[in-house]
Structure formats: structure tokens, C-alpha cells
Amino acid sequence: MSENPDETRTMDLDTAFLRSRRGIVKMAQMVTLFVAFVCFAVASVPQYIVATIFEFLVTLFLLLLHLLKLNKKLTLFFWPLVDLFNSTFSAVYLIVVSVVVLTTHTVTGALIGGVLCLISAALHGVESYTLFKNITFNKRRNESQNQANHRGTNEE
């Protein structure tokens, strides 16, 4: 195992993704889900603890996928579509969780966690809407770019 000391392997980080609109929304989702997790933990409601930590881990996985540029190396899946399905499912799931929490619990921690789940659901909904707008089906890349440019000149 002789390694060349001059040859170092580095992992490329896409820090521009964190500054993009999608990156900011993903970070906001993670923050709201983590705070909701803490609220549910304080209120000791285990089923909602599991729900929020699961959504947090899935969002973290997708954030790391983009941050480490693994979405460009793992081409087995069409990652924007996977992200769209996840965001849509998560929005619906978190709305159901928050409605159940807000209607059945009276503990303050659980109620705050339910409101935060509702905020996170709204963030997931915003992300799924923007992803749906950006994904083009059955169009060549040049056609979709020309249509976007044409729409931009008509709006001005």
C-alpha cells in the first residue's frame, strides 16, 4: 500500500448549493424539524419524535447528496424527481402529523412541535412547487431554455 504523498484525495463540496434558494429551504426544513423533534421529546410523545427524526434524516441525506455532489456521481436515479416525490410526500405527511397533534394534545411542547411541523410542511410544499416548475418532461434542454427565455422577455 504505497501511497504517493503528493497525491491527496479531497471531497468536493458544493457550497454554492447552501447559498442557493433550494439549499436555504432545505436548511430551514432541517431546523424546523429538529426544533419540532426537541419539542416532542420534551413533551414525551414518542410517535411524533420518530416521525420528525425520520423526516429530518431523509432531508439531511438529500442535503448531503447535493452538498457532496453525489447526485452527479450516482446517476442511477433522476435526483430532482426523487427530491420532488420526497418533498410532496413529506408535505402531506407533516400536515397530517401536525393536524393530529394540534387536535389531540394539550401539552405546550406538543402544540409547538405541531406548529413547527406545519411550518416544515409549508417549506416542503414550497420546495416541491419549485422543483415541479424546474423539471421538464419530454422536452430537449434547448427547447425548455428557449421557452424560459421567451417568457422572460414577454414579462418585461
Q: What is the pLDDT of residues 136-152, one digit of tens each?
A: 665 666 655 555 555 55
Round to whole Å and give the CA distance between 117 and 123: 10
Residue with cell 414579462: 155
Quote the CA–CA distance of 81 and 136 in Å, as a whole number: 10
Could you tell me the pTM of the whole model? Answer: 0.76
For the chain, which ranges sit under pLDDT 50?
Answer: 1-2, 155-156
Q: What residue spans define the domains of the chain?
A: 15-155
Q: What is the predicted pLDDT for the residue at 147?
A: 59
Contacts of 9 (CB under 8 A, 6+ apart): none
pLDDT for the residue numbered 80: 83
- Residue 6 is predicted with a pLDDT of 53
